Structure 1
Amino acid sequence: MDATEVDKLAAAEDGMWWFHGLHGNLAAMLARAGAPSGPVLDAGCGTGGLLRRLSAWMPDAAFVGLDRDPRACAETARRWAGPVVLGSVDRLPFATGSLGAIVSADVLCHAGVDEAAALAEAHRCLRPGGAYVLNLPAYRWMFSDHDRAVDNARRYGRADLAAALARAGFAPVRVTYWNTLLFPLMAARRKLWPGGTAASDVGLAPAPVERLFAGLVGLERRWLAAGRSLPFGGSVLAMGIKPLLSAPTPSIAQGSPA
């Protein structure tokens, strides 16, 4: 992500309806996995908005952030008191079996991320029984200027993501879409009236719009929190569990640190 998008993220993530919905859904999914048995990694923490919210919502858990962008790490460290590590999700700088859970928001889709390597590293670093909770943009046909601006190379269907988790050795216990109620508007905005500029959709809307959209994704969050799923949407949300007796992590070309 370029410097402009990092700045936009830092300015919007505490107030924008999208991040309220995203962070709430990730937190609810993480809570369903039970209390983590070790530190929780935000893999690709950006400018730290998710870490700040999770730390407030789960005060008994220990969190650590990781991002490959020095500007993002510096911004996270400025706004959050916990540990932040500069590094790649493709080669996590953590010992095998050292993490209780991993959460990751729209990272596996990035052009600079090796999907197989990142999944293998998450599996390696988690303790048996640990949860890997992630959100990703949905549907290949929805690729747009927004994706180019935030350096996305991939978008996912529910079956795609479940299969990727299973290949990496995870038991995919839940995969669902969300951002369903606003999806028709999102699709029209990105595919019918794209605007012609390679800029992301990140940014605060007028206050009445923020309240309306936050209310709609809040309805979806309550639906999902009850254990239900949504049949389509702009994002796909998943949780995979590292089995208590797991097979060896599939090998990857560049290897993984022990």
Structure 2
Amino acid sequence: MKRSVELREAEYHKLADYETWYWWYRAERLIIRDTIDALAMPAPARVLDVGCGTGRNLVAVCDGSTLQGFALDRADTAVAMWPDPIRQRGCCGEANALPYADGSFDLALCIDVLQCAGVTPERAVREIARVLRPDGSLVVLAPAYQWMLSRHDDAVHGVRRFTARQLKQLARDAGLHVNRACYQFPTFFPVIAAVRLWRKRGRNKRDTVPTSDLFHVPAPVNAMLFAMWRMERWAVRRFGAPFGSTVLLLARKVR
């Protein structure tokens, strides 16, 4: 058990490194930014990042804007990684029981959180709805399709995956109005699905402890993958996608 915990903490530090340069995380930040830019936000707006991890997404979202970022995560390892700009307005807490008063925020981010062990999706979304102000918005990114659950998910504490329909239902059950629910990364989906299914069938039986699918790629390959995603980005924003490896949800708290 101790070895497993240590390795998972090692995965956390690996994630913190990859978030700075890996094409996937750069793409996720732009998806979040695109979604927020389409909203009519007050100035200044208070933004809560639920389960913010290292805090890099929140810093990127707030940088150069009038948004005031508030960080929350349950893991001491994550809190220790928070950069100074968000540390002052951050706290250690649970997504299932947010330590904030009703109607405290104009926007909430929930990025790669609802799938995690220890999080009850229904409770977490209801809590987020509670702390949103009227007309406040929720942006969710979550991994898609339960059949893609693999050793990667085990390594990053993921125990469930979602369809767009399931995320919409979670939002509606919490009293939120769904503005948009669609898939992301459709171009990359066949390869990602194939890798996940291959690992799921146990062909890597020597890997007794689960590890994530993150692996180092040369800078030119990383740049090429990001350029491919940027071409996909326009089409997905305009037409949506019928499938993908990630689900994006945008919902609003009605007055």
For normalisation by structure 1, the TM-score amounts to 0.88
Residues 115-124 or 75-84, more deviating: 75-84
What's the offset of the Cα at 1:129?
A: 0.4
Separation (CA, whole Å) in 2 of partners of 1:150 and 1:175: 24
Separation (CA, whole Å) in 2 of partners of 1:81 and 1:46: 12
Q: Quick check: 2:135–2:253 contact (8 Å CA) kept in 1?
A: yes
Number of residue-to-residue matches in the alignment: 242
Is residue 72 from structure 1 mapped to residue 72 from structure 2 by the alignment? no
Q: Quick check: 2:46–2:68 contact (8 Å CA) kept in 1?
A: yes
Separation (CA, whole Å) in 2 of partners of 1:114 and 1:170: 17
5+ long unaligned stretches in structure 2: none
Match of 1:239 in 2: 250
* Residues 1:72 and 1:241: Cα distance change in structure 2 (over 3 Å): same
- In the TM superposition, 1:172-211 aligns within 5 A as 172-193=178-199, 195-196=204-205, 197=207, 198-211=210-223
Separation (CA, whole Å) in 1 of partners of 2:106 and 2:100: 12
What's the offset of the Cα at 1:36?
A: 4.3
Q: Quick check: 1:90–1:113 contact (8 Å CA) kept in 2?
A: yes
5+ long unaligned stretches in structure 1: 245-258
Is residue 149 from structure 1 mapped to residue 155 from structure 2 by the alignment? yes
Deviations 1:20-74 (A, max 9, x none): 1111101111222221463101111101110121122x52111111100011011
Match of 2:101 in 1: 95
Q: Quick check: 2:112–2:141 contact (8 Å CA) kept in 1?
A: yes
Residues 123-132 or 204-213, more deviating: 204-213
Separation (CA, whole Å) in 1 of partners of 2:153 and 2:199: 15
Q: RCO (CA 8 Å, sep 6+): is it higher in 1 or 2?
A: 1
- In the TM superposition, 1:113-124 aligns within 5 A as 113-124=119-130
Aligned CA RMSD, in angstroms, stands at 1.8
What's the offset of the Cα at 1:193?
A: 4.9
For normalisation by structure 2, the TM-score amounts to 0.89
Q: Residue 83 of structure 2 aligns to a residue in which SS? A: helix
Structure 1 letter corresponding to 2:252: I
Match of 1:217 in 2: 229
Match of 1:230 in 2: 241
